[in-house]
Structure 1
Amino acid sequence: MNNLQEKLVDWRRDFHQYPETGFLEMRTASIVASILDGLGYHLQMGKEVMSEQDCMGKPSEEETSSHYEWAKENGANSEFLSHFSEGYTGIVATLDSGKEGPVIAYRVDMDALDILESDALEHFPQKEGFASKITGKMHACGHDSHTAMGLGLATLLAENKAELKGKVKLIFQPAEEGTRGAKSMVAANVVNDVDYFIAIHIGVGVPHKQFVAANSGFLATSKLDISFRGTASHAGGKPEEGRNALSAAATSVLSLHGIPRHSHGATRVNVGQLEAGSGRNIIADRAKMKIETRGETSSINDYVKGQVESIISGAATMYQVDYNIETVGEGLSCKCSLDLAEVLHQCATSSSEFEKSVLEDNTPAGSEDATYFMEAVQKNGGQATYCVFGTELAAGHHNERFDINEESLLPAVKVLYDTAQKLMEK
Structure 2
Amino acid sequence: MIHQKLKDAIQQYSEELTELRRKFHSEPELSWEEEKTTAFVCEYLENLGIPYRRTEPTGVIANIEGAKAGKTVALRGDMDALPVEQLNKDLTYASKEDGKMHACGHDAHTAMLLIAAKALNEIKDELPGNVRLLFQPAEEVAQGAREMMKQGAVEGVDNVFGIHIWSQMPTHNVSCTPGPSFASADIFKVTFKGKGGHGAMPQDCIDAAIVASAFVMNVQAVVSRTIDPQNPAVLTVGKMAVGTRFNVIAENAFIEGTVRCFNPDTRDHVEKQIQHYAENVAALYGASAEVEYIRGTQAVINDENSAKLVQKVALEAFGEDVLYNEKPTMGGEDFSFYLDEVPGSFALVGSGNPEKDTEWAHHHGKFNIDEDSLVTGAELYAQYAWAYLNE
TM-score (norm 1): 0.77
Query: What is the number of residues matched between the two proteins?
Result: 373
Unaligned runs of 5+ in 1: 48-83, 120-125, 378-382
SS of the residue corresponding to residue 31 of structure 2 reads: coil
Residue 289 and residue 22 in structure 1: after superposition, are their counterparts in 2 closer, same or farther (change >3 A)?
farther
- Are the counterparts in 2 of residues 209 and 355 from structure 1 also a CA contact under 8 Å? no
Unaligned runs of 5+ in 2: 1-8, 353-357
Residue of structure 2 in register with 1:302 after alignment: 268
- Are the counterparts in 2 of residues 220 and 330 from structure 1 also a CA contact under 8 Å? no
Cα shift readout 1:91-110 (whole Å, capped 9, x = no counterpart): 32222235311110011222
**Aligned mates of 1:316, 1:181 — CA distance in 2:** 37
Residue of structure 1 in register with 2:296 after alignment: 330
1:329-348 alignment, distance < 5 Å: 330-348=296-314
Cα shift readout 1:311-353 (whole Å, capped 9, x = no counterpart): 23334444534524151x52223532232233332332222x5
Residue of structure 2 in register with 1:113 after alignment: 82
SS of the residue corresponding to residue 389 of structure 1 reads: strand
1:23-422 alignment, distance < 5 Å: 23-47=32-56, 84=57, 89-97=58-66, 99-119=68-88, 126-214=89-177, 216-228=179-191, 230=193, 233-236=196-199, 244-261=207-224, 262-263=227-228, 264-317=230-283, 318-327=285-294, 330-351=296-317, 353-354=318-319, 356-358=321-323, 362-377=327-342, 383-392=343-352, 393-422=358-387
- Are the counterparts in 2 of residues 218 and 368 from structure 1 also a CA contact under 8 Å? no
| Matched letter for residue 84 of structure 2 | I
**Aligned mates of 1:397, 1:354 — CA distance in 2:** 27
**Aligned mates of 1:275, 1:411 — CA distance in 2:** 45
Structure 1 stretch displaced more, 217-226 or 196-205: 217-226
Residue of structure 2 in register with 1:79 after alignment: none
Residue 183 and residue 286 in structure 1: after superposition, are their counterparts in 2 closer, same or farther (change >3 A)?
farther
Give the number of the structure whose residues are more often strand, by fraction. Answer: 2
Identity %: 27
| Matched letter for residue 337 of structure 2 | Y
Residue 222 and residue 416 in structure 1: after superposition, are their counterparts in 2 closer, same or farther (change >3 A)?
closer
Greater RCO, 1 or 2 (C-alpha within 8 Å, sep 6+):
2
SS of the residue corresponding to residue 218 of structure 2 reads: helix
- Are the counterparts in 2 of residues 215 and 360 from structure 1 also a CA contact under 8 Å? no
Residue of structure 1 in register with 2:355 after alignment: none
- Are the counterparts in 2 of residues 186 and 376 from structure 1 also a CA contact under 8 Å? no
Cα shift readout 1:9-61 (whole Å, capped 9, x = no counterpart): 122112212333333333323322332333333334334xxxxxxxxxxxxxx
Structure 1 stretch displaced more, 140-149 or 129-138: 129-138
**Aligned mates of 1:267, 1:174 — CA distance in 2:** 28
Residue 315 and residue 404 in structure 1: after superposition, are their counterparts in 2 closer, same or farther (change >3 A)?
same
Structure 1 stretch displaced more, 246-255 or 360-369: 360-369
- Are the counterparts in 1 of residues 184 and 300 from structure 2 also a CA contact under 8 Å? no
**Aligned mates of 2:47, 2:117 — CA distance in 1:** 11
Cα shift readout 1:260-315 (whole Å, capped 9, x = no counterpart): 44215111111112223332234434433331111231222222222222223334
Cα shift readout 1:48-78 (whole Å, capped 9, x = no counterpart): xxxxxxxxxxxxxxxxxxxxxxxxxxxxxxx
1:8-23 alignment, distance < 5 Å: 8-23=17-32
| Matched letter for residue 373 of structure 2 | S
SS of the residue corresponding to residue 121 of structure 2 reads: helix
- Are the counterparts in 2 of residues 253 and 271 from structure 1 also a CA contact under 8 Å? yes
**Aligned mates of 1:202, 1:214 — CA distance in 2:** 16
CA deviation after TM superposition for structure 1 residue 192, in Å? 3.7
| Matched letter for residue 33 of structure 1 | C
The alignment yields a C-alpha RMSD, in angstroms, of: 2.9
| Matched letter for residue 287 of structure 2 | Q
| Matched letter for residue 296 of structure 2 | E
